[in-house]
Structure 1
């Protein structure tokens, strides 16, 4: 393995890492690439269309849809960071990736995951205010507040993710440089080091608790209050209408968090790699479909434009 030496801290870094796709499925990896490529195109097309619709339609300039545009932007970034290299690996066996490129990819994957989790929390807060304090909705969620939430989600992601780069950079790599995955995942990079990675593991647990763990707890609490408010509504129709406004958000939350925790549980199995790869491409592809189908305003806007075009 070729490596470079950093004379300032005497650590050895490999010149390149070698990505090895999905263990056990190497012979059919070209055909495996087809659904990944389709979902990549769906993610780019669907999320881009969603952002354009929200930008063009004045009636969609509301907190709920602005948060949805942030989610769509995060999904586009995540897809573009992972999918081009993944498809190059599947199609051309281009598994070589430089050390710095690998660390950069790792950084952005973690950063976007934390940012997207923050946006989902903000969307839960939006539904909480809309249902529990409907008369104060526009007073609480002003454009200024939405801007601050967007800024906070980015700053939170940067602050929590940046130490990971230092923790990996300090490790000496003096053995295997093969990563059995299609992208640079934090734990798999750390396990290649010939040094104690306890600090990496502890920080990963801390960040997991302070980001997704805390977000899941707060989202759950918000929905407890939401359900209490819904069941106090006088009519069943009003209750169903209120719950309907939350359905898309609940679907996206379940699709975001449940596969993530399942991926961690089965990551030590070969097919856990396949699941982790599906996790980073399926939600970005399906999120715009879920919101497009289940959100009346977006569905109506698309239908009216298609009718105008004579389709």
Structure 2
């Protein structure tokens, strides 16, 4: 039996672009969200640029902890810039179309930056563990070489481990639907439109979450458990308080970062009844931490505050 030529053309049809519809259920008034999102994006860029300027200008901040904070600022700006211009273009100009290569590139960069942020949190946790639990050995262990090697390792780990995400997505066949009920190209949102089996995409997404995020979270938990154990053995309450104060801002950001990831994972299962919730959380998770991270550190860290006053030409003593 021979297949009709028309049937063959239909089976081989591939969409040339995706349409990012925006926030599901509120398409008629979603443009009103552009103002708070634009302000958050502007705040993220301004705050992180200020952090980089302060760290660069203040010699007292040329330390491993602040170097990691500088890398985090760069990652945060990269993450926010990966998604916000396109989201604002959708909300302001209805520029919803995105080519397949652009969509897969955005998917890759988002995964890479999110994993990189998680990796930097691990580096910062290890730095605080050595500083508090092994203070005498800290200068010998956490050297400039150590900081560079840790950062390069995290960059290579995350950039290589996330490559299969867009590659597997690009191998799917998109033959009918091309409208994505989202503001960005998420892996599961895009591959749900494919006409063939996407099991491998879901499996790798789960594997990536457990191996990267899971191992990072385990190392962070272990580091802070050892820090807490060490601090509780201190006889001086003042010394214990001072030791913990250096970790407070870090813990706040870690709790927010991983809590939102867990909530997004849970709400994704309820996407059929409340599709807006996981989409909104996903967008906010990519823009709120970049705006929140520098402010939390600036508020909780005296050296950063002093550097900020100097940069802003405010001669204020703390």
- TM-score, scaled to structure 1: 0.94
1:274 paired residue number? 280
| Contact 1:252 1:287 (8 Å CA) reproduced | yes
**Which residue of 1 is the match for residue 67 of structure 2?**
66
Say if 2:214 is the partner of 1:213: yes
Cα distance in 2, alignment partners of residues 11 and 147 from structure 1: 48
* Residue among 300, 307, 313 paired with 1:294: 300
**How far apart, CA to CA, are the structure 2 residues paired with 1:22 and 1:152?**
36
In 2, Cα distance between equivalents of 1:13 and 1:107:
21
Q: SS of the counterpart of 2:28?
A: helix
Distance in 2 (CA, whole Å) between partners of 1:157 and 1:114 is 6
Rounded to whole Å, the distance in 1 between the matches of 2:298 and 2:79 is: 20
Q: Hey, what does 1:225 align to over in structure 2? A: 226
| Alpha-carbon displacement from aligned partner over 1:43-72 (angstroms, at most 9, x marks no partner) | 000001101111111111101000000111
Instruction: Kindly state the Cα deviation for residue 13 of structure 1 after the two structures are TM-superposed.
Output: 4.0
| Aligned equivalent of 2:181 | 180
Higher alpha-carbon deviation: 256-265 or 77-86: 256-265
Q: Distance in 1 between matches of 2:119 and 2:204?
A: 19
- The aligned residue for residue 7 of structure 2 is none
What CA RMSD, in Å, does the superposition of the two structures yield over aligned residues? Answer: 1.4
1:4 aligned partner: none
The residue that corresponds to 1:245 in the other structure is: 246
**TM-score (ref. length: structure 2):** 0.92
Over 6 Å off, 4+ runs: none
Map 1:1-311 → 2, pairs under 5 A: 13-267=14-268, 268=271, 269-272=274-277, 273-308=279-314
**1:54–1:65 Cα contact (<8 Å) kept:** yes
Equivalent position SS for 1:101: helix
Gap change, CA 1:198 and 1:253, over 3 Å in 2: same
Q: Is the 8 A contact 1:11 1:170 kept in 2?
A: no
Q: Secondary structure at the match of 2:19?
A: strand
Q: Distance in 2 between matches of 1:11 and 1:255?
A: 45
Q: Bigger radius of gyration, 1 or 2?
A: 2
Superposed displacement of residue 166, structure 1: 1.9
C-alpha distance in structure 1 between counterparts of 2:285 and 2:40, whole Å: 11
Q: Distance in 2 between matches of 1:204 and 1:230?
A: 38
- Would the aligned equivalents of 1:12 and 1:171 in 2 still touch at CA under 8 Å? no
- 1:165 CA displacement: 2.2
